[in-house]
C-alpha cells in the first residue's frame, strides 16, 4: 500500500499572509480580502486533524484561480484526497523573501542587490547551469520550484518584481537606464561560460538591438 504524502504545514514558519475562500466554482474562487493581481499562494485543507497543502491559487482582487500543487512531485507517494472548499485558508506570498535578480550587467545587478539586501538572494549562476537555450517562462517557473524562489526581479526599463508562479508583476521600481547588456543576464561568476548553451548562442542576438534584452524579458511578464 502506497504511503500517503501529507504536507504538514507549520503556519508560524511561513512567510506571507492569509485569506479565506468564500466560494468555489470549478477552478474559480472568491476570497474575503482584496489581493494584488497576480499574487500566488498555497491552499490549506484540513486532513486528519492537520492542515495539508492541497492546491495552488493565484489571486486577482477578490477573485482567483486554483491549480494543482506540483512543487513537491514524487511518484513514490500518493497524493491525499483533499479538495479545497469554502472556509479553507490560502497562504499568499509565502516565499517572497527569496528573490533572484535578472540584470543586464554588473552595475544594474549590484544596485538591485542593494535594494533587496534584506531578502534572501538566489544566485543567477545556479540558474545558468540549468539552461541550454533561451531562458523561457517555464524555465523560470520550474527553477523557482526547485529553489523555493518567490519572486524574480527583472532589471529592465524599470525593476519589475514578478511572482515566480503567476509571472505577474506585483511591484515596480524606478531604474537607471543602462544600455550595456551582457549575455542573456548577468552572472556573478567571472568569465562564466557553458559551450553551446544560451550564453554562447544568445549573446550576439541581444547585441543586435539595444532594446532587445528588455523587450524579450518584458514579453514574459504579465502586468
Average pLDDT value for residue range 94-110: 92
Q: What is the pLDDT of residue 61?
A: 96
Q: What are φ and ψ of residue 87, in 5° steps? A: 100, -20
Q: What is the pLDDT of residue 11?
A: 33
Rounded distance between C-alpha atoms, residue 7 and residue 117, angstroms: 31
Rounded distance between C-alpha atoms, residue 182 and residue 106, angstroms: 9
Average pLDDT value for residue range 8-33: 77
Confidence of residue 33 (pLDDT cuts 50, 70, 90): very high
Q: What is the pLDDT of residue 133?
A: 73
Q: How far is CA 213 from CA 22, 35, 102, 192, in A?
A: 42, 31, 11, 19
> Percentage of residues in the chain with pLDDT exceeding 70?
76
pLDDT exceeds 60 at position 159: yes
pLDDT exceeds 90 at position 200: no
Q: What is the pLDDT of residue 12?
A: 34
Helix (H) or strand (E) segment spanning residue 113: helix 106-115
pLDDT exceeds 70 at position 73: no
| 158 vs 194 pLDDT, higher one | 158
Average pLDDT value for residue range 191-206: 50
Q: Provide the residue ranges of all domains of the chain, joining segments of one domain with +.
A: 11-92, 98-220
CA neighbor of 66 nearest in space, from 120, 13, 25, 6: 25
Confidence of residue 148 (pLDDT cuts 50, 70, 90): very high
Note whether 53 and 44 are within 8 A (CB).
yes
pLDDT exceeds 90 at position 59: yes
Average pLDDT value for residue range 74-99: 81
Average pLDDT value for residue range 114-119: 93
pLDDT exceeds 90 at position 49: no
CA neighbor of 152 nearest in space, from 217, 65, 69: 217
pLDDT exceeds 50 at position 175: yes
Average pLDDT value for residue range 205-218: 68
Q: What is the pLDDT of residue 80?
A: 55
Per DSSP, the residues of 95-147 read: TTTEEEEE-SSHHHHHHHHHHTTTSEEEPHHHHHTT-SSSPPHHHHHHHHHHH
pLDDT exceeds 70 at position 162: yes
163 bridge partner residues = 151
Q: What is the pLDDT of residue 79?
A: 55
CA angle 152, 169, 130 (to 5 degrees): 30
Amino acid at each position: 500500500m502506497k504511503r500517503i504524502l501529507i504536507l504538514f504545514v507549520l503556519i508560524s514558519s511561513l512567510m506571507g499572509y492569509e485569506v479565506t475562500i468564500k466560494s468555489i466554482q470549478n477552478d474559480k474562487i472568491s476570497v474575503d480580502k482584496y489581493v494584488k493581481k497576480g499574487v500566488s499562494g498555497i491552499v490549506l485543507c484540513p486532513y486528519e486533524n492537520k492542515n495539508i497543502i492541497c492546491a495552488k491559487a493565484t489571486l486577482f482582487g477578490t477573485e482567483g484561480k486554483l491549480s494543482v500543487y506540483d512543487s513537491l512531485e514524487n511518484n513514490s507517494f500518493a497524493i491525499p484526497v483533499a479538495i479545497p472548499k469554502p472556509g479553507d485558508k490560502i497562504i499568499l506570498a509565502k516565499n517572497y523573501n527569496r528573490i533572484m535578480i535578472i540584470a543586464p550587467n554588473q552595475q544594474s545587478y549590484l544596485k538591485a542587490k542593494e535594494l533587496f539586501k534584506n531578502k534572501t538572494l538566489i544566485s543567477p549562476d545556479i540558474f545558468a547551469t540549468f539552461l541550454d537555450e533561451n531562458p523561457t517562462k517555464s524555465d523560470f517557473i520550474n527553477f523557482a520550484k526547485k529553489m523555493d524562489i518567490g519572486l524574480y526581479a527583472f532589471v529592465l526599463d524599470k525593476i519589475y518584481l514578478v511572482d515566480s508562479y503567476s509571472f505577474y508583476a506585483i511591484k515596480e521600481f524606478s531604474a537607471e537606464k543602462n544600455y550595456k547588456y551582457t549575455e542573456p543576464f548577468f552572472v556573478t561568476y567571472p568569465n562564466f561560460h557553458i559551450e553551446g548553451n544560451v550564453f554562447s548562442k544568445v549573446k550576439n542576438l541581444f547585441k543586435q538591438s539595444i532594446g532587445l534584452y528588455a523587450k524579450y524579458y518584458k514579453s514574459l511578464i504579465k502586468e
